[in-house]
Amino acid sequence: MKTLRLVLSFALLCGLTTGLHAQTTGDIAGKVSVAGEKGLEGVGVAAFGPSLQGSRVTITDDQGRYRLTLLPPGQYNVTFNLQNFATETRSDLTVFLDRVTTLDLVMRPTLEEQIRVVGEAVVDTTTTSVTTNLNTRAIETLPTGRNYSSIVQVVPGISSDNNSENTGQTHVTVYGSAGNENTYYIDGVNTTGVEYGFQGKELNFEFIKEIDVKAGGYEAEYGRSTGGIINVITKSGGNEFRGDFFGYFDSDSLQSGAESTVSTAGILEGFERADFGADLGGYIVKDKLWFFGAFDRVSNTISSQLPSGPQAGDVVDSESTRVLGAFKLTYKMADNQTLIFTYFQDPREDTGAINDPNHSLNGDPLTYTGKQDFGGRDYALRYEAVYGSNWLLTAQVSRHGEENSVGPASAAGDIVQERDVANNFFQTGGFGLIQDKEFTRDTIGASATRFLGNHEIKFGVEYEEQEADVIKRMSGGQQVDMFANTVNPGMPIYRHFYWTTATAALTDPGGPAISQLDATTKHEDTSLYVQDRWKLRPNLTLNYGIRWDRQEIISSRGVREIDLNGDFSPRVGLIWDPSRTHNSKVYGSFGRFYEKIPMDLVIRSFSSERQPRIVNYDPVSTVPDAAAESDFMTASQILGGFNSVPDPDLKGQYVRESILGWEREMRPNLALGVKAIHRSYGEVIEDFLCDTLGTYCIGNPGRGLMENSIGLDYVSIFPAPTAERRYRGIQVDVTKRFSNNWQGLASYVLSKLDGNFDGGYAPFTNVGADPNISAAWDYYDFFTDGADLTRITNTGNLSNDRRHQLKFSGVYFTPFKMSVGVAGYWRSGTPLTRYGYSDAYGRYEFFLDKRGSEGRNPDTYEVDVHLGYPLKTGRVTVNFMVDIFSLLDAQRPILLDQRWGFAEADNASPTPVNPDYGEPILRTPPRTIRMGLRVSY
């Protein structure tokens, strides 16, 4: 029934003057003039290219201006034709995703002289957006991982997120944001992870045509992100049949020896990755119906040496298989009207040794042997049209699906898990956390652009409905942590963790009942925006607009618990072209950018989640024991409630951003840019303990219900600190467009990130993401070392503070046809902090000294190289490829262990109780060679 409603709604949208905001095309625009810069009216302008069905045509207006819209990224020939003037063609003009390519001409009568082409501009003088385009040439030639989140890290201002779970370095931070604050689009589909906000879809490079990365300064049509916008479009086929067979392989036999770490994830002993697939694009009807299809099977086996226990030194395997696929149909309904159907998938199954934030290899086999399922399938139907010379319309309906489930390999693992805290949480018994989670996001949206004199007015609407179906429980019903008893050494203390019912009490006979979390929740999100690109003068453009977002959060009971209906985002930018030739600009922008709350909050805060922490001397019983609580100095408690209580005046979470920049084309195809970026939080949404009865509320730190904070003693009340995160950066970048067989990008960023709140992800807790419901404001004590509540220690340099980042990347095609790609970086280390353990929460919540007071992680640097050689035989080209990652084999520590101890009593120790404190838990990878072969026809 839902699918039928979406299709009917789409049909209705196609009949309206509206379309969708996620861009999949670019534009060519400019001015045709005669001597004296007088605009020339009536010039016929047409664009032709292999990416476009037929041609796109227009006529210059009374001021000589023209615009060719809805052009798929690629190479184009543009012709200009007017009676009594010579016809001229501009060849190989590049159109980038979501960019305006400017092309001006000065024309004279045929008898006087030929047309003079002013040229294609390198600098986009129409926007304040800090944008980098990565085309097919860069995607196929730069040495990066096979996930598109790897290649975006060559973009200035972007680096890997600083957290121990980011082992593949695929979570990215943009200008100080956390790794789950970005928005990801593929072919206009919002593929951002539904539950936590990370990248929600994988797509291998053979499917991709272009990637557009907006790091900041973007206009009102883009929202729901406090980080960056990563926009990917896939290939579409064409009037010729083209395809590939491809394969990539690497293993530990092609890798240097890996230096050791102290991670409970085990020691890497070996691996083998194989990535094989095929794609084909072409036509069913020339210039009418195109298709593209691709399939890719990725298998990965990782062998790890167990770090401890009776099986220490044994090697276990983790098997992973991912089936990637894509299919697209592009149908030209009529001149200037196109209908596009897109499908892509990324289901993945992991078996064997499960090694993730909730399951480590530090234990017996039943505690880590399991099965995981990820990924899903996405669909989209998109309509694009140009009506006359003044209206541009698009509309799209889509569905995004994803799964994230994990459980034991067999029923034998469904027993209670026990962890020995003093022995670095060594696990015995069963599998631990079991999850069965499925998510969908249905979207329908539209936008319309009206070209009206000196104005380019765009307005749009979008509606999203997200649903979650989640079950969480512990194997055997509970997880038990065993602590050494310093008061009575012969009687170890056991803390029992599990989910219980909405009515359970500590005084119940037998203790609070063992249950599970069942959540069937929903989000309904609505967005409206209007923006205007106003040419105040030929060389002065004002971009201004406003966006309104509404997010309705609906609980498992069907109750609308939160309604954020006042999220207005003003955006304004000014661009001055001092040369009047589109080769330089001075610009500034200011904007407000709201977060879209991931579904983790509604799952945990509005689904009757209640989690007992029962303290006693018994490894099985869940009955509290007063004597054990006295020895442990922590009472038994039930955290959570039937529902958290939202502040009735809750404000949406947003950041303020200001950018001031200058760009100039220093020579043909070479541009230099300098930018100053400032970002800071305006409001933050978090949960907290809001009364002495144990009720949790959701509010804005420092105001309303959240004006005060309660201590862990459930008695003391303190003023709640406001949330602070400030990013200040200076960026210098150099861009070389492809010419003379090479292209390149280099950047340097000097920045500072400080405050008391990392954002959507708190890496120091070591338990994974909990956006908007982290424990940061749960108790006032968590702003301190837990002992001296008069001294705030949770402030200083934040986790993603990197003072210096230097990057370079480039592609070169040698005279003997070999392609060479290089990417390298040097960046300063992130801050080090003493993190103290909380017995009540079972994780690291205390700051034993000021943030960053322990110095910094080491600086890191590396260089990667790609070599490709094409061998052509007739219509077939065989491309032999070699990628050398970590050429310098530096293996620098990325993160050091910052856990001071393993129990709250350890926090007071003058020296670290954790023997691994300060040791590397994550390093840059060893030198690795990946072999590849692509047969193209």
Mean pLDDT of 770-785: 94
pLDDT band at 22 (very low <50, low <70, confident <90, very high): low
pLDDT at 768: 66
Cα–Cα distance measured from residue 127 to residue 588, given in angstroms and rounded to the nearest whole number: 10
Mean pLDDT of 580-607: 95
Mean pLDDT of 427-433: 96
Over 90: is that where the pLDDT of 369 sits?
yes
Please provide the average confidence, as pLDDT, over all residues in the chain: 91
pLDDT at 15: 42
- For 144-187, the pLDDT digits (tens) are 988 898 899 999 999 988 877 777 777 899 999 998 999 999 99
Mean pLDDT of 534-552: 96
pLDDT band at 767 (very low <50, low <70, confident <90, very high): low
pLDDT at 117: 43
Only one residue has tokens 């999203």, namely: 464
Backbone CA torsion sign across 89, 93, 95, 101: negative
pLDDT band at 765 (very low <50, low <70, confident <90, very high): low
Q: State how far the alpha carbon of 752 is from the alpha carbons of 3, 175, 729, 799, in Å.
A: 47, 10, 6, 11
Over 90: is that where the pLDDT of 84 sits?
no
Cα–Cα distance measured from residue 444 to residue 189, given in angstroms and rounded to the nearest whole number: 10
Inter-residue contact 339 to 382 (CB < 8 Å): yes
Cα–Cα distance measured from residue 183 to residue 222, given in angstroms and rounded to the nearest whole number: 9
Over 80: is that where the pLDDT of 17 sits?
no
Backbone CA torsion sign across 898, 904, 909, 914: negative
Over 90: is that where the pLDDT of 105 sits?
no
**CA 108 distance to own-chain centroid:** 50
pLDDT at 72: 92
Over 70: is that where the pLDDT of 753 sits?
yes
pLDDT at 766: 59
Task: Tokens for 902, please give them.
Answer: 């393993």
Ramachandran region, residue 603 (left: φ > 0; alpha: ψ -120 to 50; beta: rest): alpha
pLDDT band at 38 (very low <50, low <70, confident <90, very high): confident
Mean pLDDT of 303-308: 84
pLDDT at 415: 97
Comparing 99-113, 503-517, 577-591, the range with the smallest average pLDDT is: 99-113
Comparing 96-105, 113-122, 443-452, 733-742, the range with the smallest average pLDDT is: 113-122
pLDDT band at 892 (very low <50, low <70, confident <90, very high): very high
**CA 634 distance to own-chain centroid:** 38
pTM above 0.85, yes or no: yes
Nearest to 932, CA basis, from 885, 884, 879: 879
For 8, residues 6+ apart whose C-beta sits below 8 A from its C-beta are none
- For 108-135, the pLDDT digits (tens) are 776 444 434 445 566 888 899 999 999 9
- For 221-238, the pLDDT digits (tens) are 999 999 999 999 999 999
Q: How many residues in the chain? A: 937
Helix or strand (DSSP H, E) at 140:
helix 136-141
Mean pLDDT of 214-221: 95
Cα–Cα distance measured from residue 464 to residue 333, given in angstroms and rounded to the nearest whole number: 27
Q: State how far the alpha carbon of 300 is from the alpha carbons of 251, 272, 510, 881, in Å.
A: 9, 6, 46, 20
Inter-residue contact 582 to 616 (CB < 8 Å): no
Cα–Cα distance measured from residue 927 to residue 911, given in angstroms and rounded to the nearest whole number: 36
pLDDT band at 613 (very low <50, low <70, confident <90, very high): very high
DSSP states of 306-325: --SSTTTT-EEEEEEEEEEE
Cα–Cα distance measured from residue 786 to residue 789, given in angstroms and rounded to the nearest whole number: 7
Cα–Cα distance measured from residue 272 to residue 796, given in angstroms and rounded to the nearest whole number: 42
